[in-house]
Amino acid sequence: IAAGVLLVFDLINRASFEHVPEWYHEAAGDELPAFVLVGHKCDLVDERAVSAEEAGHLAATLGMAFVETSAHSNLNVELAFQTLAGDLPQNSTTHRAEVTGTPPPAIPLQCCLKSTSLYQQLRIISLFM
Ligand SMILES: Nc1nc2c(ncn2[C@@H]2O[C@H](COP(=O)(O)OP(=O)(O)OP(=O)(O)O)[C@@H](O)[C@H]2O)c(=O)[nH]1
């Protein structure tokens, strides 16, 4: 079961933004994971096809934070992961294991959507526990 999901779209590709609600429903599942919406390639200011306001509004509608990133400028990539980590449920298996001193289980990283070929540096990632 995914504990956290980064939903990544390309800020210069409007079609990728329009897929976000569909990706959200695909990834939501029965036990709602933590989500963060990520608008990628924010360094390409002149080619932007989605405003921060619009993306922020969609994120708020879906109940998640919005972060703009650029792998090119190394901007906010870490913040996106930190924001997601901060939204993970505190009573997760990993947290309990750390509290009790038991080694936490390995957390494999797995790309979870077919559309990930759009992104090399930053992908839609699920943290499986
Ligand atoms: N300017 C900019 N370019 C980026 C960024 N992230 C990735 N790219 C570029 O976007 C292009 C596509 O990225 P890839 O990671 O190769 O993704 P891909 O899925 O193989 O390619 P596409 O399907 O064509 O987007 C490459 O030229 C990357 O260098 C970014 O944050 N800023």
pLDDT digits (tens, 9 = 90+) for 69-95: 999 999 999 999 999 999 987 755 554
CA 81-100-105 angle, to 5 degrees, is 50
pLDDT tens per residue across span 2-61? 899 999 999 999 999 999 999 999 999 888 899 999 999 999 999 999 999 999 999 999
CATH of the domain at 59: 3.40.50.300
Cα of 120 to ligand 1 centre, how many Å? 6
pLDDT at residue 29, rounded to an integer: 83
| SS3 assignment, position 58 | helix
- What is the domain count for the chain? 1
CB 119 near ligand 1, within 6 Å = yes
Domain carrying residue 41: 4-128
pTM of the predicted structure, to 2 decimals: 0.75
Ligand 1 atom at shortest distance from the alpha carbon of 13: 25
The pLDDT of residue 122 is above 80: no
CB 75 near ligand 1, within 6 Å = no
Higher pLDDT, 98 or 16: 16
Q: Whose CA is nearest to atom 16 of ligand 1?
A: 120
Provide Rg for the chain, Cα atoms.
Answer: 15
CA 105 to chain CA centroid, nearest Å: 22
Number of other CB atoms surrounding residue 19 within 10 Å: 16
CB 121 near ligand 1, within 6 Å = yes
